[in-house]
Structure 1
Amino acid sequence: MKLIKTPIKDLVIIEPRAFGDERGYFMESFKSEWFYKNVNPKPLIQDNESKSTKGVLRGLHLQAPPFTQAKLVRVVQGEVLDVAVDLRKNSVTFGNHFSIILSADNKKQFYVPRGFAHGFAVLSDEAVFSYKVDNVYAPDYEMGLRWDDPVLGIDWQLGREEVQVSSKDAVLPIFNEFESPFTT
């Protein structure tokens, strides 16, 4: 596995090695010993998966302490634009975001540490999105930011008329109205 740093501290891309031939491919999608040594020593405790159609935008989501979650995400089928926003108040990149195309073809994985909002938009006709988390889902601690926040200025690579968000995501606060619970 190859570890690639991003311009935002602690936010990393993981490129697994895939071995392929005319029959298909094989890869190790997760190896705990390598991950805990090179990325984060905290155990990942749960796998989640979602399936969405083109234009579906999920996010920007996070959970407040003590149920903050780190995520290791990847796409099993299709293609998404994946985005993380740094919400750590003491970070030099507070309020900055990083985006990456994740697809079944490129097999890249994206590690989103605690202290970030996370979301993705489906760019292909359909996508299956898989992620591992290091803490349980706690609905009472769920928070988020609006996907179309003008301060964040995220280019989701979709026309506004193509974007489909849940009614809950449509009313999330904008960045300037959000009080981050994260210091580091």
Structure 2
Amino acid sequence: MADLGDITRPDPAVLGELVYSVPGAKNVTKFKCGGFVLGLAINHCMFDGVGAMQFVNSWGETARGVPLSVPPALDRAAVTDAYMRSAVDYFEATRARPSLASTLLITAWSRLPFRAADFGWGPPAAYGPAALPEREVALFLSCAGEGGGVRVLLGLPAAAMAEFERLVDEVIF
């Protein structure tokens, strides 16, 4: 863990080195202390945040040999040919997406159950993205400790930081 530095202020260059970048590859980085890093790249088409954490937490439950707290939904009766064709029609009709070229994305991951991701060694010491999901983003995460705090990861152009700080001070104080 010492190799990572201050985990409350993640350095994307350091964290990026922990993520194996070949599509479809699986990699677990192990540390001398016995800890490990589990990196996971997902496509938002497959999971939203809740679904991704449900997958990771079920993976941890399986590793610990305990029953799944959320059993998989195996009933495929609702996924008919007509339903799938309807979904395809919907996505074709709504293909146009707004440009995010000059948009600040504000997203809260603070309610996602990261601390439940126990693979047998207890809750994670740290968690979060290895890189920010967008170039201009404010990402809210719960803190890894028990204090109930919130960590905010910001990705803003340097020119926008002063104005962002002023607006936050205006709202909070």
TM-score (norm 1): 0.27
Greater helix content: 2
Flag the structure with higher strand content: 1
Higher RCO (Cα < 8 Å, 6 or more apart):
1
